[in-house]
Structure 1
Amino acid sequence: MKRVLLIVMVAMVLAFATAAQADDGSWNRVKEAGQLVIGLDDAFPPMGFRQDDGKLVGFDVDAAEELGKRLGIKIVWQPTAWSGVVHSLNAKKFDCIWNGMTITPERQKAVLFTKPYIRDGQIAVVVMGNDKITSTKQVGGKIVGVQKGSPALEAAKSLKPAAKEIREYDTNPKAFLDLEAARLDVVVIDNIAGRYFMSTRPGKYIALPGYITTEAFGIAFRKADKSLEAKIQMTIDAMVADGTMGKISRKWFGEDITNPAKW
């Protein structure tokens, strides 16, 4: 009898805990406001960046706008410095970070991530015609540029042999300008962002073979906002299942890199 009572009590505690998590108010807050405010670096092509006319475009922009339509809410974009983006999220300057954000153990201590929606990695890029650096093993002793606060910094630090110097930039385009001007030998960058930027200046750069590190992108929320994360995740799952995410992916990358079944 005592054993049965104990089981019933445990089940009740779990039920209450689940109900409390589902009713944390975060999704209702967004729904009642009628908008989801998203933090991003708006100079991160092709995930989110400005066209010449100032319009914000990109893979994450298209995906989030589609999600907003399905949930009946407006998407509001809040550009922010990437180096402080997690702090800004937890300071409640926006509801989530949706901007090709790499899921790392360190970040998982500070934020709540969705499941990965893209699998990617870090690569090394040099100017076209550079016959002195043809593999990552030859980056040792060279000057390397990375975006400040990005996983590229850790990837650059992991290079063996070590780089001579690692220079940090506010944006990737600034690093590429220094690469083209021979103030850098190599830029370490996310594969997606790097290849997109290279495509805008054909014949200027070339990626060294292979990945330095591999990674996955997720959408980040405050730890307490479990019901909001669950609602967004459910909607993204539906977008993957009906082929919408794949369609958006092919628009920006030429192939579907959003389906976990293909990773």
Structure 2
Amino acid sequence: MKKRNPIISVIIVVVLIAIVAVGGLIYQTNNHKNEAKEDTKQKVLKIGATGTSFPTAYKSKGKLVGFDVDVINAAAKKAGYKVQWVTGEFDGLLGQLDNNKLDTVANDVAITPERKAKYKFSNIYNKEETTVAVNKDSDYNTLNDLEGKTIAGASASNNTKNLQDYNSKIKFKLYDARDVTFQALLAGHVDGVVNTRNNLEALIKAKNYPWKVVKGSAATVNIALPFRKDDSESAKILKKLNPAINKLKEDRTLKKLSEKYFGYDATADLK
């Protein structure tokens, strides 16, 4: 039997090692490409809003705009996300969030004890006071003047609950949608309408409604984005989105947007 040339053996070993090394490199490259693809998939956030909540999330000339909408679009951009907006009734949007059909809801969502127990909230981006608007020519000037009077409120709104807790002598007429509560006061069916001071002041100015906002507040609430608890994808989003919201405070974007939609800086006291 002929002996194999040692040089040929060495060449064979070198070639085999090279093949293994190249194979490993190709695997790593493909693996990184797959990871990059996965990263790209999560670049779109599905966010819910009613599209009828002036001045926080409403449609103007067919485009969804408002304080919450502009804030979240700006924060998402800083965090490297694109936003896909989904509109619907408020309760239905929270249901879609619960069922993994939305990533979050940006529609004046107040942090309440009940919601805090259920959701993980983002950093706060707005602060609001619960109060009441009445007809300008009425004799009602404070919240306590409304004892025994009927106030329109949205059934699912934390503002309605805040006022109920504040003064049990105030009567309520509840409606499914927030816009209907405004129409109830315009039509004279109620003595006032409960909402946040920010929203009521902006509504009066923009729509020229013959209303005034009474003195006093039933509660102060913080506004943020709700996310599913114990959800790894939500945790990833929050990790990117919270620093972006902080940057909007630092670069005064929140202040500018607040002045644009509310007529004053409602974010001055944010921590």
Q: Do they fold alike, i.e. is TM over 0.5?
A: yes
2:73 is equivalent to residue 65 of structure 1: yes
C-alpha separation in 2, matches of 1:243 and 1:200: 24
1:169-212 alpha-carbon deviations (Å, 9 max, x no partner): 23332212111211011111112221111112325101111211
> Would the alpha carbon gap of residues 255 and 33 (structure 1) be closer, same or farther in structure 2, given more than 3 Å must change?
same
Q: Which residue of 2 aligns with 1:154?
A: 161
Describe how 1:230-249 pairs up with structure 2 within 5 A: 230-249=239-258
Map of 1:18 onto structure 2:
none
Aligned-pair identity (%): 25
Name 1:192's counterpart in structure 2: 198
Inter-CA distance 153–92: structure 2 relative to 1 (3 Å threshold): same
Q: 1:168 aligns with which of 155, 169, 174?
A: 174
- 1:63-212 paired onto structure 2 within 5 Å: 63-131=71-139, 133-164=140-171, 166-202=172-208, 204-212=210-218
Q: 1:57 to 1:253 in 2, by over 3 A?
A: same
Write out per-residue CA displacement over residues 86-140 of structure 1, whole angstroms, 9 at most, x where no aligned residue. 3221111210111211001100111110122111110111111012x22211212
Q: CA deviation at 1:80?
A: 2.3
2:130/2:159 contact within 8 Å kept:
yes
Aligned-partner Cα distance in 1 for 2:75–2:176: 29
Deviation at 1:77, TM superposition (A): 0.9
**Equivalences for 1:7-26 in 2 at 5 Å?**
none
Return the alpha-carbon distance in structure 2 between the equivalents of residues 46 and 121 of structure 1: 15
Matched residue of 2:241: which SS? helix
- Code of the residue aligned with 1:135 in structure 2: it is T
TM-score with structure 1 setting the length: 0.81
CA-based RMSD of the aligned residues comes to: 2.1
- What is the TM-score when the length of structure 2 is the normalising length? 0.79
Q: 1:43 and 1:204 mapped to 2: Cα distance?
A: 21
Listed as ranges, the gaps of 5+ residues in structure 1 are 1-27
The verdict on how the C-alpha distance between 1:31 and 1:118 changes in structure 2, with shifts beyond 3 A counting, is farther
CA distance in 2, matches of 1:107, 1:169: 21
CA distance in 1, matches of 2:111, 2:124: 8
Whichever residue aligns with residue 54 of structure 2, its letter is P
Moved more, 217-226 or 240-249: 240-249
Structure number with greater Rg is 2
